[in-house]
Every structure is written in C-alpha cells, then in structure tokens.
Amino acid sequence: MSWKLFNTLTRSLQEFVPLDAGGKKADMYCCGPTVYDFAHIGNWRTFVFGDLVRRFLEFKGFDVQHVMNITDIDDKIIKRVRESKTSLRDFTSKFETAFFDDLKTLNCLAPHQTPRATEHIPEIISIIEKLTARGIAYKAPDSSVYFSIEKYRAGGHQYGQLVKLNFEEMRAGERVRSDEYEKEALADFALWKARVPEDGEVFWPSPWGEGRPGWHIECSAMSMKLLGPSFDLHLGGEDLMFPHHEDEIAQSEGAEVQPKGQRFVKYWLHGAHLLVEGKKMSKSLGNFFTLRDLLAKGFTGREIRFLLLQAHYRETFNFTIGGLDSARASLMGIDECLAKLRDLAGSAKGSAEATVVARFSGLLDDDLNIAGAWGVIFDWRRHTNKRMAENKIDASSAASALATWDKFDSVLGVGAPAEQEIPAELTALLDARQNARKAKDFKRADAIRDELKAKGWTIEDTPKGPKLKKA
Ligand SMILES: [Zn+2]
C-alpha cells in the first residue's frame, strides 16, 4: 500500500511518490541541531519523528538517503562564543559530540550524511551569487547581502508557500538582519552578514567583503549540494516553518537551479510542538529538560523514545514524568512477552505473521497513524500472551511471533539492546562451561559449547570474560 502524508506545501494528504523514476530512492533532509547548547526534549521529539519517517521508508523498501545538517554558525552561536571566550570550533564541537551521543541513546539511526555549515561556505556564496545575478539579492548600505522579497515576487515566484503572509503591512526595502523573526516582521532577510566587531574572529571572505552566512541559506546550500536541487522530503519542527523553511524555498527556487517544472522540495513534513507537564517548556517553570536531565532522573533512552513515539506527529504532545513511568511499565510488559517467546522458540526459525504486519504498516501508511500502530502491537501482545498461557505456541510459532516483533521494531526502534535479551537459562549454561574449564573438564566445557550452539548462540571471548552472541 502507498504511504499518505500531510504535505505542508499543499496543506493536504498526498500519496508519497518519489522523484526517482524507478520509484526506489527516497531522499530526505532534516534540519539538524544548532550546536550552541544541549538539545532539549522538544528538539528530540522532532529528531525521533525524523527517525520514524526514515525507518518507515526503509521498511517499505525505499533506498533512503538521509541528510541532517549541523548548524555550527548562526546568531545564537556567535553570542555564546563571544561570552565563553573560546574559538568557534572548540565551542561547537562539544555540543556536536553530545548531540550524536544523545542521538544514539535514543536509538535513532545515524543519518547518512551530517554536513557542517562552516564547511559549505563556497556553496553558500555560489547561491548568493546566483541570486544577485538575477537581481533578487542586493548589497545594502551596511555591506550585508539581503534577499529582496519584492524582486522575488515580481519574477513570478510565490513567497508564503508554507504559511499565509500579509504583504499589506510590508514596507519595500525594510530589512531584518536577525536569523529569527516573526511573521509580522516580514522583511528582506540577510543572506550574508557583513562582519561586525561582535563577530570576533568568526568571519569568512566573500565577494561582498568579510562576513558570515545567514542561517537560512546554510540549509539551502547543504541540502541541494548533497541531494540535488530538487528532492523528495524536507522535515523539521513546526517552529521552523517560518521564516526558516519559507526562506529556504525562496532562496533555492529563486536561484532557479531546479529542472523545469520541479520544486525545491516535493513534500514538506512538520512535527508539532511538545508541552512538558501541560505547559510550554521554560527554565523558570522548572519543566525544561534536556535528554541528559531525564537520564539523570533514572530513565533510559528507550523509555524516552517510547514516550515520544506515542503521539501523532502533527498533534501537540504533553510529555510528563508520569508518562515515562507508564512507558517503563509498557516496555516491561513487552520484554516479558518476548523473553517467554525466546525461551519457547529456542533455535527455531519462523517468518513474520503477514496479516498482523500488514495491519500495522497499513495504519502507518495513513499519515503515520502511530496510535493505531501501537494498538495493533498491544492487541498482538495480549493475544500472544494468551496463547502462551494456554500452551498453544510451539517453537516455530514462537519464532514466528519473534519475527513479527522484529518487523514492528524495525520501524519503532524501542526493542531492548541485545545484551539484555539473553535468557537466564543460557547465562547459567555459560557459567557452567566456565566452571568446567576451571576444573579442566574440557570435555564437558565443549559439550556445553555445542549445546549453546544448537540453541543458536556462540561464545565470544572478550577482555571482560566470555559473552554470548546470537549466531
Ligand atoms: Zn534548516
């Protein structure tokens, strides 16, 4: 079945049809972190949503190319670098490393490419040159280069594709230098910001003098360089819709580098906000959490990911500590069911239960109906537990149930890490083998090794002693 998603560009549900003529490749760009601080749980909701989209595309057999940029130069970073009296790279590398550690903790698949803005200055300059050559960008008296909304519109382009804008209030020639501004402050925005004393040592040469790029042009340059001038999917949080994404469209389509009749991006997907304990996150309310704050409270990346995946991506989600406790209980229920199935299955093999997997993916096909998909999983678990309680599951149907879970989990990524999945009975066998070896009873030790092998496990010697690995 085909995947239907809500495209912000058309404000409607559309069937996903990739640009690739073979229908196999799907390219996606997700706006990545601005590495000026640790990402908070609201940011993580968006990144986990991006990971869900990527995993679902792969589940459906697409060959996905996932690009996520690192914003390592913008207004916020410049301010922090100045305050911390460090170099730009020293400052940003700390938060960049933390970001990738956190991404792993939440079991998000690593994007295929993670370009840094500071390493794409020539590509950024090249787009600005195209825009100035077309008369859409101009150098202002402050030596910065701005994007002229009036000239862009006069060329037949539409500004205000993702959001409705009121041009009545706009005064021609009015400019905004800051990276972030409200819809009401609609004005020509900065592509290249001329060097000012507050920038310190952070600047690059350009045809318009020393300076640095505006935030919006960075994403246009990196996405088009790595995915081409026209690609399938662009994702981000709904707070990025304006001005960031609107400006990305204007810059990229204003440069007119797309093949005739093609857009910069075919499908725009936006994830909704997150509230914490019913309120907008704020440091003064004490409900502002980074991922690290939650880990320090004793929750795991799995539990946090599970909770973030409960709500539909277009709905505001209320994240609570109580919700994390329930997530823990739900995961324990799943783990218990899987542990019993593993005991029953032994080394038996089985293929996934096609009907239930089809029901699961059919719900996700409907604009990622995640609540429906979880419903299928919990019904499946109840039914499986019941069959086990009635002794109606043999080794091969247990293996089949495990294969079914693997299908679910390839999309959701909430399964327990492999180390925790070793049944107690096998650990006991491993201990028995160690004791036999110590007693120099090698015959028995080898027999146990063979027994483990028959159950589908191999012994791996590590510096911390022998460990079991699924063969
Ligand atoms: Zn971006």
Q: In this predicted structure, what is the pLDDT of residue 379?
A: 98
Q: In this predicted structure, what is the pLDDT of residue 377?
A: 98
pTM for the model stands at 0.88
Contact 114, 30 (CB under 8 A): no
Give the C-alpha separation, 372 to 377, whole Å.
Answer: 9
Per-residue b/e over 10-42, b at no fewer than 16 CB within 10 Å?
Answer: eeeebebebbeeeeebbbbbbbbbbbbebbbbb
Distance 216 CA to ligand 1 centre (A): 6
Distance 215 CA to ligand 1 centre (A): 8
How long a stretch of residues is the chain?
471
Give me the percent of the chain exceeding a pLDDT of 70: 98
Give the C-alpha separation, 450 to 206, whole Å.
Answer: 68
Query: What is the tens place of the pLDDT at every residue in 62-76?
Result: 999 999 999 999 999
Distance 461 CA to ligand 1 centre (A): 45
Q: In this predicted structure, what is the pLDDT of residue 464?
A: 65
Query: What is the tens place of the pLDDT at every residue in 166-217?
Result: 888 777 779 999 999 988 888 999 999 999 999 999 999 999 999 999 999 9
Q: In this predicted structure, what is the pLDDT of residue 184?
A: 82
Which single residue is written with the structure tokens 């294969």? 403
* Mean pLDDT for the chain overall: 94
Give the C-alpha separation, 251 to 229, whole Å.
Answer: 11
Overall average pLDDT of the 323-340 stretch: 96
Q: Where is 191: in which H helix or E strand?
A: strand 188-194
Distance 453 CA to ligand 1 centre (A): 50
Q: In this predicted structure, what is the pLDDT of residue 467?
A: 80
Q: In this predicted structure, what is the pLDDT of residue 208?
A: 97
| Phi, psi (deg, nearest 5) at residue 463 | -55, -25
| Phi, psi (deg, nearest 5) at residue 32 | -90, -165
Interacting residues of 293 by C-beta distance below 8 A, sequence separation 6+: none
Torsion of CA 339, 50, 16, 258, to 10 degrees: -150
Distance 302 CA to ligand 1 centre (A): 27
Label residue 423 by pLDDT band (50, 70, 90): confident
Distance 418 CA to ligand 1 centre (A): 35
Overall average pLDDT of the 86-92 stretch: 95
Q: What tokens does 363 get? A: 């719900």
Burial of 249 (0-12, 13-18, 19+ CB in 10 A): buried
Instruction: Give whole-number Cα distances, 433 to 426, 427, 430, in Å.
Output: 11, 10, 5
Give the C-alpha separation, 431 to 425, whole Å.
Answer: 10
Whether 355 shows a pLDDT value over 60: the answer reads yes
Q: In this predicted structure, what is the pLDDT of residue 361?
A: 98
**121-133 and 215-227 helices cross at what angle (nearest 10)?**
100
Distance 234 CA to ligand 1 centre (A): 9
Whether 276 shows a pLDDT value over 60: the answer reads yes
Distance 202 CA to ligand 1 centre (A): 20
3-state secondary structure of 362: helix
Whether 235 shows a pLDDT value over 80: the answer reads yes
Per-residue b/e over 354-375, b at no fewer than 16 CB within 10 Å?
Answer: eebbebbbebbbebbebeebbe
Give me the percent of the chain exceeding a pLDDT of 90: 86
Distance 213 CA to ligand 1 centre (A): 13
Label residue 421 by pLDDT band (50, 70, 90): low
Burial of 461 (0-12, 13-18, 19+ CB in 10 A): exposed
Contact 68, 28 (CB under 8 A): no
Distance 126 CA to ligand 1 centre (A): 18
Whether 454 shows a pLDDT value over 60: the answer reads yes
Which single residue is written with the structure tokens 């997907």? 269
Distance 54 CA to ligand 1 centre (A): 17
**DSSP states of 19-76:** SSTTS-EEEEEE---BTTS--BHHHHHHHHHHHHHHHHHHHTT-EEEEEE-BB--SHH
Question: What is the gyration radius of the CA atoms in the chain, in angstroms?
Answer: 26
Give the C-alpha separation, 200 to 78, whole Å.
Answer: 8
Q: In this predicted structure, what is the pLDDT of residue 24?
A: 97
Distance 219 CA to ligand 1 centre (A): 5
Distance 268 CA to ligand 1 centre (A): 12
Distance 173 CA to ligand 1 centre (A): 25
Amino acid at 385: N
Q: In this predicted structure, what is the pLDDT of residue 418?
A: 56
Distance 31 CA to ligand 1 centre (A): 4
Which single residue is written with the structure tokens 């912000």? 8
Interacting residues of 103 by C-beta distance below 8 A, sequence separation 6+: 47, 110
Whether 419 shows a pLDDT value over 70: the answer reads no
